[in-house]
Structure 1
Amino acid sequence: MTDYGEDPEIEYSELSGPCTQDSVTVEMNIYRIKGSSEGWALEVVDAENNSTTWDDLFATDAAALEEFNKALAEVGIQEFVQFTPTNVH
C-alpha cells in the first residue's frame, strides 16, 4: 500500500468571499496549495454547494478575481447557479 501522506494545506486569497448580484449570492474562492508557485485556482460555489471551477490556474490572485469579474459581467451570476429540478405531482 502506498502512503501519499496528508492532504496538502490550502491557502485562500484574501480576495475570496461572497458575491451577490440580482439577489443571488455565491461564494467565490481563490486558492492554491500553500507555498506553491503553480498559480491560483478559481472556484464559484452556489447555495446548494454546486461548484464551478476554471480549468486554468492564474498567475496571481488578482488575475483570478479579474477573470471572475469579467465572467460575471458577461454572463451574470445565474451562470454559476445550478437548480435542482423539483417533481410536480
Structure 2
Amino acid sequence: MMYDENDLIYSPLQQKYTAEGKTVEVCIYRMPDTGWTLEVVDQYNNSTVWDGEFDTDQEAFDLFLEEVGAEGIEAMIGPEPGSSVH
C-alpha cells in the first residue's frame, strides 16, 4: 500500500525545544505501518534525521534528550545559510 504525507501520524511529544538560548523543532512521526522517525529541524531549516526507526515515540524523544545532554543543543544546529563550511 502506498502512503503519502497525509498519512503521517505525529507524536504528541513533537515540540519546539529550547536550551542554551537556542531552539530546535523536535519532529517525531511515523506512517501507519512503520516505527517512529526522529527528526530535528534548526532555525536555519537544516534537518537531521536519525537512522533507523524507534519502537515508541518516547524512545525517540529520550534519545534526542540524551544527545542534547551529551553534546549540547549546538550539535543539533547546522550551518547558517550562506556560511562557508570547511
Identify the structure with the greater helix proportion.
2
Gaps of 5+ in 1: none
1:43 is paired with a residue whose SS is strand
CA distance in 1, matches of 2:2, 2:63: 33
Read off the aligned partner of 2:13 and give its amino acid letter: L
Number of matched residues? 81
Identical amino acids, percent of aligned pairs: 38
Aligned alpha-carbon RMSD (Å): 1.8
Q: What is the TM-score with the length of structure 1 in the denominator?
A: 0.83
* Pairing 1:22-61 to 2, within 5 Å after superposition: 22-33=20-31, 35-36=32-33, 38-61=34-57
Q: CA deviation at 1:83?
A: 2.0
2:66 aligned partner: 70
Q: CA deviation at 1:67?
A: 0.5
Q: What is the TM-score with the length of structure 2 in the denominator?
A: 0.85
Gaps of 5+ in 2: none
